[in-house]
Structure 1
Amino acid sequence: MNLFPINAGNFKLDGGAMFGVVPKSIWQKTNPADANNMIDIASRCLLIEDANRLILIDNGMGNKQSEKFFGYYYQWGDFNLDSSLKQYGFHRDDITDVFLTHLHFDHCGGSIQWNKDKTRLETAFKNAHFWSNENHWKWATEPNRREKASFLKENILPIEESGQLKFTTLPEQNILEGSPLNFDIFFADGHTEKQMIPLIKYKGNTIAFMADLLPTAGHLPLPYVMGYDTRPLLTLNEKETFLNMAADHNFYLFLEHDAHNEIITVRHTEKGVRLKENFKTQDIFN
């Protein structure tokens, strides 16, 4: 098995929204804001080369939305999904499976693109299966009013229409072992219904793709929960469960949204689970 970090683009989000009830005077120490109160955010996806499968976990915002839409998110840097794939000798047509942690636009927007003459939308990975789960799919396609702006139908419905959609099964408890993609899945409901956190066994270690359960290293303290989360008290409990497990077993936490911290480990302290070490992806994947 080989692992590759895939940068699908950087953008900015409001720091207050990212940290909920935590005061700016506290969160800006780890996540400094610009003059507009915006903080740096990454779309750091993960590519898994495993035997005859090439699995991409999440794929960023994509590029099909309007200039007005992207204007809200202050994109920065020169990264994009295609150039990141090319860096490792791959093309999007090589992808066999696209695993979507959840269907918010900044995680799945790259799934769908315009065709050449911009007359219809099509899947951007023509040879891939797209993986979600039935509970989350229903949640996203029948959105509540709080999340409706994050579940864009143009990102979601064409996947089902293409015939490329597949669902994982749901576990009786919150961890699914032996999923169809050869990694375990931790299911979390605080951010959104049945978000899926992949747990990948790699060279005797566990790599956890943290998605929005832990957006940045600055979110390690339990009360630091995003304003975007639909069930913040549930997120708090899920973070506690997961971070205790990560500290007990020395998981490597792959941070999808932290523009400046790629992989971290955590440890138990008197204040709770806190940062232990910080790594570059090449330190762990090579």
Structure 2
Amino acid sequence: MKLYPIESGNFKLDGGAMFGVVPKSLWHRTNPADANNMIDIAARCLLIEDGNRLILIDTGMGDKQSDKFLGYYYLWGNDTIDKSLKKYGFHRDDITDVFMTHLHFDHCGGSVQWNKDRTGYEPAFKNALFWSNKDHWLWATQPNNREKASFLKENILPMEESGQLNFVSLPETEILKNSELGFDIFFANGHTDKQMIPIITYKDMKICFMADLLPTAGHLPLPYVMGYDTRPLLTLDEKEAFLNLAANDNFYLFLEHDAHNEIITVQHTEKGVRLKDVYSCSDLF
């Protein structure tokens, strides 16, 4: 098995929204904001090369939305999925599986693109199976008023219409062991219903793709929960359980949204689970 970080493009989000009830005087120490109160956000995806399979975890927001829509997110940098894949000798047509942690636009928008004459949409990975789970798919295709601005039908429905959509099994407990993709999955419901956190066994390490359970290293303290989460008290419990497990078993936490810290480990302290070490992907992969 080989792992590759795939940078799909950076953007910015409001720091207050990213830290919920936590005051700026605290969160700005780890995630400084610009004059518009916006903080740097990455959309760092992960490519798994395992035998004949090339599995891409998440796809960023893509580029098919209008300039007005993208303008809300202050895109910065020059990274794209295609450039990142090319760096490692791959093309998007080589991808066999696209695993979506959840279907918010900044995690799955790159899974679907305009068709050639821009009259409709098509899967951006024509040879891939797209993986979600039944409960989250229903949640996303019949969205609540709180989240429907994040569940865009043009990002979601073309995967089903193409016949390329598949569902992983739902676990009896919070962790699905050895899923259809070959890795374990931790299911979390605080941010959105049935978000999936992959736990990948790589060499002698457990690499955990943290998605929105832990957006950045600055979100390690338990009360630091995003304003976007639909069930913040549940996020508190899920985050506590996962971070304790990560500290006990020395998990390596791959941070999808942290523009400045790629992978971290954590440790128990008197203040709770806190940062231990910071790694770049090139240190470990």
- Same fold, TM-score > 0.5, yes or no: yes
Q: Which residue of the partner structure matches residue 18 of structure 1?
A: 18
Pairwise CA distance, 1:163 = 0.2
Q: SS of 1:49's equivalent?
A: strand
Pairwise CA distance, 1:51 = 0.2
Alignment of 1:49-128 (within 5 A): 49-128=49-128
Residue identity matched to 2:35: A
Alignment of 1:1-286 (within 5 A): 1-285=1-285
Q: What is the alpha-carbon distance in structure 2 between the residues aligned to residue 48 and residue 186 of structure 1? A: 18
Q: What is the alpha-carbon distance in structure 2 between the residues aligned to residue 121 and residue 19 of structure 1? A: 34
Equivalent pairs, count: 285
Q: SS of 2:9's equivalent?
A: strand
Q: What is the alpha-carbon distance in structure 1 between the residues aligned to residue 230 and residue 271 of structure 2? A: 26
Pairwise CA distance, 1:120 = 1.5
Q: What is the alpha-carbon distance in structure 2 between the residues aligned to residue 214 and residue 166 of structure 1? A: 26
Structure 1 residues 177-223: Cα deviation after superposition (integer angstroms, max 9, x where no partner): 01011000000000000000000000111000000000000000000
Residue identity matched to 1:192: T
Q: SS of 1:9's equivalent?
A: coil
When the two structures are superposed, what TM-score results if normalisation uses the length of structure 1?
0.99
Q: What is the alpha-carbon distance in structure 2 between the residues aligned to residue 169 and residue 179 of structure 1? A: 7
Amino-acid identity (%):
78
Residue identity matched to 1:34: D
Q: What is the alpha-carbon distance in structure 1 between the residues aligned to residue 23 and residue 58 of structure 2? A: 30
Q: What is the alpha-carbon distance in structure 1 between the residues aligned to residue 24 and residue 97 of structure 2? A: 39
Q: SS of 2:42's equivalent?
A: strand
Q: What is the alpha-carbon distance in structure 2 between the residues aligned to residue 157 and residue 27 of structure 1? A: 37
Q: SS of 1:135's equivalent?
A: helix
Pairwise CA distance, 1:79 = 0.5
Q: What is the alpha-carbon distance in structure 2 between the residues aligned to residue 92 and residue 180 of structure 1? A: 21
Residue identity matched to 1:184: D
Structure 1 residues 76-111: Cα deviation after superposition (integer angstroms, max 9, x where no partner): 001111000000000000000000000000000001
Residue identity matched to 1:205: M
Residue identity matched to 1:40: D
Structure 1 residues 209-263: Cα deviation after superposition (integer angstroms, max 9, x where no partner): 0000000000000000000000000000000000000000000000000000000
Pairwise CA distance, 1:119 = 1.4
Pairwise CA distance, 1:21 = 0.1
Runs of 5+ consecutive residues of structure 2 not aligned to the other structure:
none
Alignment RMSD:
0.3
Residue identity matched to 1:148: K
Runs of 5+ consecutive residues of structure 1 not aligned to the other structure:
none
Q: SS of 2:212's equivalent?
A: coil
Q: SS of 2:8's equivalent?
A: strand
Runs of 4+ that moved beyond 4 A: none
Residue identity matched to 2:192: T
Residue identity matched to 1:199: I
Q: SS of 2:154's equivalent?
A: helix
Q: What is the alpha-carbon distance in structure 1 between the residues aligned to residue 115 and residue 149 of structure 2? A: 24
Structure 1 residues 256-281: Cα deviation after superposition (integer angstroms, max 9, x where no partner): 00000000000000000000000000
Q: What is the alpha-carbon distance in structure 1 between the residues aligned to residue 152 and residue 191 of structure 2? A: 17
